[in-house]
Amino acid sequence: MRECLELAPDAIEVDQASVVQRLGSSRTNCENGLFQESFTAAQGFLAATARPRCVVQTVDLATFAGLYDGEGSNDRDTPLEVILERSEALALFVLTLGQTITDTIRRLFSEHDYLVAALLDGMASLVAESLVESLETRFGRHIAECDGKSTTPAVLAYSPGYCGWHVSGQRALFSVLKPNEIGVSLGAGCMMRPLKSVSGVLVAGEPEIHDFDPGYSCCSGCDTLECRARIARVTGPVCAKREVAWICSDG
Ligand code: SF4
């Protein structure tokens, strides 16, 4: 399965409390008129300039294992290696909000409109993350339908540049997925262009496969422990599923 998807701009939602938290501000600092006015302005820029698109392609384990080794720069031991051994299905993905929103953020900063620029930047990152969650949900449902099962597997996304998977892995991932179809390419240091893009692999399986002790070599310098919140999303008592109405844009 390979599909290109896009999202109508009016399907993008952003929650003020999450943006405030992302910016590290306290809620009370954000109740004044200037903040509210800037938030509304940033929302307007988001709706006008974000153009979410993605490409998703299933891969078998052997193909992914070759791709994951990439240029041999991964950590000696990584959580994803262990997760892969117990996975049921895999899909590569690249998702982008497009170039215009990045240009707009840069322009707002250059015009010293710092609050609106920072709000738009935070909104864009949150939207990209939540859209990746929607791809996880969509892939889980796709597998359940293919297998004729009533329960969906737990799907989480893993990305080059995190948790021991070296960022140079982007090159192997891009060579298979070819996301130039949605306007994403690699620049210096394997940074994606446009900047507001996310790449990686969707890994499906029993919820437990995503759970592990964070004792890998990459974990010693980690101050986010982001994996804990992600694991809780699929193993917690209430597993909220992010759904958005992606539209198939193939051919
Ligand atoms: S502790 Fe940090 S580096 Fe280790 S798996 Fe979790 S998020 Fe990744």
Report how far residue 72's alpha carbon sits from residue 95's, in angstroms, rounded to the nearest whole number. Answer: 25
Q: Is 214 in the pocket of ligand 1 (CB under 6 A)?
A: yes
Closest residue (by CA) to atom 4 of ligand 1? 219
Report how far residue 159's alpha carbon sits from residue 177's, in angstroms, rounded to the nearest whole number. Answer: 14
pLDDT digits (tens, 9 = 90+) for 114-157: 999 999 999 999 999 999 999 999 999 999 998 888 888 999 99
Per-residue confidence band for 72, with pLDDT thresholds at 50, 70 and 90:
confident
pLDDT digits (tens, 9 = 90+) for 178-199: 999 999 999 988 999 999 999 9
Report how far residue 186's alpha carbon sits from residue 193's, in angstroms, rounded to the nearest whole number. Answer: 6
CB of 153 closer than 8 Å to CB of 204 = yes
Q: Is 79 in the pocket of ligand 1 (CB under 6 A)?
A: yes
pTM: 0.93
In order of their start, the domains of the chain are 2-237 (3.40.109.40)
Q: Is 158 in the pocket of ligand 1 (CB under 6 A)?
A: no
Report how far residue 7's alpha carbon sits from residue 5's, in angstroms, rounded to the nearest whole number. Answer: 7
* 32 vs 104, residue with greater confidence: 104
* Residue 210 alpha carbon to ligand 1 centre in Å: 12
pLDDT for res 91: 98
* Residue 238 alpha carbon to ligand 1 centre in Å: 23
Q: Which residue's entry shows tokens 């153009």?
A: 51
Put the strands of the sheet holding 53-59 in their side by side order.
Answer: 154-158, 197-205, 89-96, 53-59, 2-6, 247-248
Q: Is 226 in the pocket of ligand 1 (CB under 6 A)?
A: yes
Cα 178 to chain centroid distance, Å, stands at 17
Per-residue confidence band for 212, with pLDDT thresholds at 50, 70 and 90:
very high
